[in-house]
Amino acid sequence: MKGYIRAIIQLGLVAVIFIPLTVSGDDGPAHRIDQPFPIQLGTSGGNINDSTKAFCFGGTLGALVQDGNGTHILSNNHVLARTNQASAGEDIIQPGLIDQVPACAKDTNDAVADLSAFIKINFKTKRTIPTNTVDAAIALVRTGTVRSDGSILDIGVISSATLEPTLNLAVKKSGRTSGLTEGTISAVNVTVDVSYGSGKTARFVNQILVTPGSFLAGGDSGSLMVEDVDAAPRAVGLLFAGSSSVAVANPIQAVLGAFTVTMVGSGPSAQTRFLDKALAFVRKIWPVRETHAAQQLSEQADAAAVAAVTRVKEKHEGRLMNIPGVVGVGVGLSDRVLGQPVIEVYVREATAALRRALPSSLDGVEVKVVETGEFFAY
């Protein structure tokens, strides 16, 4: 079963299934309607062929990127490319099939782009566990159908610059189902197993985790995650999966590099430039790991400490991921020592037996067990 939003077609009737959630801010109705051209992004969309005899699907058209061939809509492979099944040139529509009237109707007049490229998702087999870095696809925009500045509903025009993910960074996104939501990066350098339904599971490396779980819902896949500033926020990641407690995003640099594209947007805002200078000044005169006050000002862990913990995590993650019940491993922050990075182990259920099977530390680094449940492509 695909994790993103779907409609069930049965006996000529259509029922829409939503994943229950609690969100803050806009609950998304404006993100699901049929927009007049040129559309904004952060809105319902998908591949016009993404349906079966029983279901139709939809996700979020996330952002606008560009290369020498023109501008492209950026979203997930499983939203635009039907999870590896699509061919170049297939129609990308807004809204997605799930939000058509009637639901699942294929209206070619709603086409805004043509699928241009996607990165293949490699799934586990009995003999191999290939790794993935992105769940991503792009679609070449048709003339006059998408705002040329790449404006995103409830966010506006973003910066053309990007931002590396860091622990405790405040972020936001605008998506088809839950609209505008805010969250915090809780882990980086994450390896995680994601279910795509029908027994298919894909392992992703170097991912980002965001809390709370309500940050992302079914149908929000493809949303662009940006820093939580008012004007010209920089892109941080491309959201594609989650569980009941966390959301998962590909780092935006990996996504852009996969297609050799750049973000469409403006320059960094004055607010962003000021914050960057202020944080650089704090780190220079007041090392983050020395005082609680510096940690509160920077809202980030020391980069060198994160890198050191990442090396320990990578050394041991193969063994950890082989323990039944473990669904991921990453680098987060300690609950005991302010600002101290630790190895996080994500489990379906934190049973007493599983806790006993997991170490409390590795090479002197604290190990924190986090119950996340299973991860699904949203």
DSSP per-residue string spanning 343-374: EEEEESS--HHHHHHS-SEETTEEEEEEE---
State the Cα–Cα distance between residues 234 and 157, nearest whole angstrom. 10
What DSSP character marks residue 24?
S
For 270, half-sphere exposure in the C-beta direction (CA atoms, 13 angstrom radius) is: 0
Question: Is residue 10 included in any domain, yes or no?
Answer: yes
pLDDT in tens, 307-317: 999 999 999 99
Which residue is listed with tokens 């996700």? 59
pLDDT at position 203 over 60: yes
Number of structural domains the chain divides into: 1
What DSSP character marks residue 156?
B
pLDDT in tens, 205-244: 999 999 999 999 999 999 999 999 999 999 999 999 999 9
Predicted model pTM? 0.88
CB 210 within 8 A of CB 184: yes
What's residue 276's pLDDT?
A: 56
Beta-bridged to residue 91, according to DSSP, are 114
Question: Is residue 50 included in any domain, yes or no?
Answer: yes
State the Cα–Cα distance between residues 44 and 39, nearest whole angstrom. 11
Question: Is residue 239 included in any domain, yes or no?
Answer: no
Output 284 or 325, whichever has higher pLDDT: 325
What DSSP character marks residue 324?
T
Question: Is residue 121 included in any domain, yes or no?
Answer: yes
Helix runs in 223-302, H state only = 252-259, 270-285, 292-298
Question: Is residue 321 included in any domain, yes or no?
Answer: no
Question: Is residue 247 included in any domain, yes or no?
Answer: no
CB 221 within 8 A of CB 3: yes
Cα of 371 vs its chain's centroid, Å? 19
Least trusted range by pLDDT, from 12-16, 181-185, 195-199: 12-16
H or E segment to which residue 376 belongs: strand 375-377
The two three-digit tokens of residue 263, written as one number? 């973000």
**Maximum C-alpha span of the chain:** 69
What's residue 74's pLDDT?
A: 99
Which of 150, 140, 216 is closest to 178 using CA atoms?
Answer: 216
Confidence of residue 301 (pLDDT cuts 50, 70, 90): confident
The two three-digit tokens of residue 48, written as one number? 């016009």
Angle at 279 between CA 276 and CA 280, to 5 degrees: 85
Confidence of residue 28 (pLDDT cuts 50, 70, 90): low
pLDDT at position 176 over 50: yes
Question: Is residue 163 included in any domain, yes or no?
Answer: no
Question: Is residue 288 included in any domain, yes or no?
Answer: no
State the Cα–Cα distance between residues 150 and 154, nearest whole angstrom. 12
Containing structural domain, residue 71: 6-141
The two three-digit tokens of residue 324, written as one number? 């039944």
186 CB contacts (<8 Å, ≥6 apart)?
167, 209, 210, 211, 246, 332, 333
First and final CA of the chain: distance in angstroms? 10
What's residue 306's pLDDT?
A: 98
CB 216 within 8 A of CB 184: no
